[in-house]
A and B are shown apart, each in its own frame.
Chain A
Amino acid sequence: MKIPWKIQRQTEWYLLFVIIVLSAFLTVVNPKFFTLENIFDFLRNNSFLGIVALGELVVLISGGIDVSFTAIATVAQYLMGLVISTTMVNNVLLAFLIPIPIGIALGAVNGVLVYYTRVHPVIITISTLNFYYGVLMFLTKGTWIYKFPPAFREFAKLKVVTFMGAQGVPFGFSFFTLLWIILGFFTFVVLRYLTIGRKIYAVGGNLEAARRAGFNIFRVQLFVYSYIGLLAGIAGFVHAQLNQMIQPNAIVGRELDVIAATILGGASIFGGSGTVWGAFLGVLLIAIIKNGLILMKASAYWHEVIMGSIIVLAASISAYQRKLQIRREKGRFAEEQIF
């Protein structure tokens, strides 16, 4: 018997179409865009964004939202940086393992607070964002870390496949891109084949029904916020690898890119829907736009304007579709009620 795939997820196809059109356009403007080198480079550079977007996806599906993951990633990577730069332990695996429990723990705090206070998770996670980040900045005074053991430095260059570029500069498919894909697959498995994943969809679809069905809501919320914490921890490691430097203020402020990417990818902010594939495409679209702006030599200051417009536009389209759906199903009087 076939597994009931949901192939009719239109958002993803629209997105793919937009990505193709945009890519074609950018290639015409600057042929460098559609080279294997640029694509690999670009996937590598966006692996941080892609990994945390997977976490945000899971939170959004459950009907929540998390804006504190940037602070979690920062705290996790900073503590990792402190440990490896002071001990100079020449082991990347160890470095990789440090941020994970930190991320999970900080995420779990969010989960507990969201469950017990029943206040909108935006308010909770803005608070924890300020708290985590504020404490870190206060204690570290914003000092950068850039003294890493050699293994940590070498690891960043690790490639799964290597090609030779035209100028004799090697390039290739980065390990971090692979990590992103593996985590994407893992998240897909969690959402689709683990009981907890189905409960996440159920809670996001109808919280009261989930409660009545006997699902443990606390466990679900704890899981989703810990999960984004976990991914934020891993992403913190990736970010430190990619930059070979840890600046406490480098990540905070990029929350919205991630949320925008996930929503563009079809995750509903009302909960209950969203796919890994969509989140992947959403990140890709945001990244292509940013990359395109650079290729087109637009001033960096325009980035925010364009990002903001995209978020508002994407949210408008989704609100409009919701409106149409309600109008179709229940008539216009119900649609008026959806503030």
Chain B
Amino acid sequence: MQIVALMVLLGVLFALMAFLTQGKLLEAQSFQAIAFQMPLLGLLTLAQMGPMLSGGIDLSIIATANLVSIVMALSMTQFFPALQAPFAILLGLGLSLLLGILKGFFIALVSVPAIIATLGLMIFIRGLALVITRGYVIAGFPPDFLFIGNGTVVGIPVPFLVFAIFASLMYLLLSRTQFGLELYLFGSNPVATLFSGVNNRKVVFRTYLLSSFLAGIASCVMASRFNAAQADYGESYLLLTVLACVLGGVSPSGGSGRVWGIVVSVVVLQVVATGFNLLGFSSHLASALWGMILLGVVLFNRLFLA
């Protein structure tokens, strides 16, 4: 049902955008742009998905991605340039896991509500990034790192491949592993899972660990695409990830939503975003429209689906 609605929406929006941009959206370049730009939003949305499935939210994914980018950037440009991209990526992903442990600690073990914990950690993590960079941009990465965000393999953009891989892995994780199944059950009714022998704390802990890790992956794509790292890149993505999740059928109260829904909704949003770009909308107008679209989706769900 939801997928049908979503596909129809995609078709309508695509036609609308094609019309408004006088066909520019249909040019090969636009498709190329979508394929290069969508993965970043897609990966960040995947990072948001787990927490939302658990009935929580992670407001710190963008901050996490930025801090990871900065550490990778420093590793490549200042501290370990000899070790190049692979080491930097390992370092960055390691850091993302560390941040995940931090989030998991407060949310799963101390039982701080996710909204507040990730709010505080968002400020904290962004603060660390500011302390490290003093607000400056770190730019200029080696070519093999830039390949992640800008290269192609047999004509397919590499970031698109990265997204495809992690979306598939996420699909497998959610539908075929104990963790994934428990996450859905937990999101629906944490009391019942507790009484069924599910280790609730472990599920929540892993959810935020996974979320941070995916934010780390997104960070590789982001830093590579921008060829730069900074403390406050991409902050508008936060709203977009929540929007993409809600649009893709993830209930804000937890327990339902599938990966394919996320994938389609990310495509929808990217088509719209690319359309906005082609129409020459400013980022502020875009963000106003995103806010309105999210409200529209929420209202629509309330009025027609509930």
Contact = CB atoms under 8 A, between A and B. Distances in A.
A124 B298 contact: yes
A315 B246 contact: no
B81 interface: no
B298 A117 contact: yes
B295 A113 contact: yes
Main secondary structure of the interface of A (DSSP, over half): helix
Interface stretch (B5-13, B85-93, B127-135, B165-173): B127-135
B147 to A, nearest CB: 32
A117 B115 contact: no
A126 B242 contact: yes
Interface stretch (A208-216, A226-234, A295-303): A295-303
A299 B288 contact: no
B239 A127 contact: yes
Contacts of A263: 116
Interface residues of B, number: 52
B14 interface: no
A270 B294 CA distance: 24
A118 B285 contact: no
Contacts of A301: 127, 130-131, 134-135
A302 B127 contact: yes
A138 interface: yes
A122 B119 CA distance: 11
A304 B115 CA distance: 18
A296 to B, nearest CB: 15
Contact of B121 (A117, A130, A136, A308): A308
Interface residues of A, number: 53
Nearest to B186: A339
Interface stretch (B28-36, B71-79, B104-112, B215-223): B104-112
Interface of A: 65, 113, 116-120, 122-124, 126-138, 141, 256, 259-260, 263, 269-270, 299, 301-312, 315-316, 319-320, 322-323, 336-339
B115 A311 contact: no
B23 interface: no
Given A123-B246, A337-B190, A306 B113 contact: no
Contacts of B106: 312, 315-316
Contacts of A137: 282, 284
B191 A337 contact: yes
A141 B127 CA distance: 28
A131 B288 CA distance: 4
27 contacts: A113-B295, A113-B299, A118-B302, A119-B302, A126-B291, A127-B290, A127-B291, A127-B298, A130-B236, A138-B284, A138-B285, A269-B113, A301-B135, A302-B127, A307-B123, A308-B122, A311-B120, A311-B123, A311-B124, A312-B112, A312-B121, A315-B117, A316-B112, A319-B111, A319-B112, A319-B113, A337-B190
A304 B126 contact: yes
A126 B240 CA distance: 11
B252 A120 contact: yes
Contacts of B289: 134
B284 A315 contact: no
Interface of B: 55, 57, 106, 110-113, 115-117, 119-128, 130-131, 134-135, 190-191, 194, 200, 204, 236, 238-239, 242, 246, 252-253, 282, 284-292, 294-295, 298-299, 301-302
A123 B287 contact: no
A256 B119 contact: yes
B137 to A, nearest CB: 15
A123 B293 CA distance: 12
Contact of A305 (B127, B191, B238, B302): B127
B195 to A, nearest CB: 9
Nearest to B203: A339
Contact of A304 (B127, B194, B288): B127
A311 B295 contact: no
A117 B253 CA distance: 13
A260 B200 CA distance: 28
Question: Which of B121, B123, B190 has its CB near the most chain A CB atoms (within 10 A)?
Answer: B123
Q: Would you list the 10 A-B pairs with minimal beta carbon distance, nearest first?
A: A308-B124, A134-B288, A304-B127, A311-B120, A130-B291, A305-B127, A131-B291, A308-B123, A137-B284, A312-B120
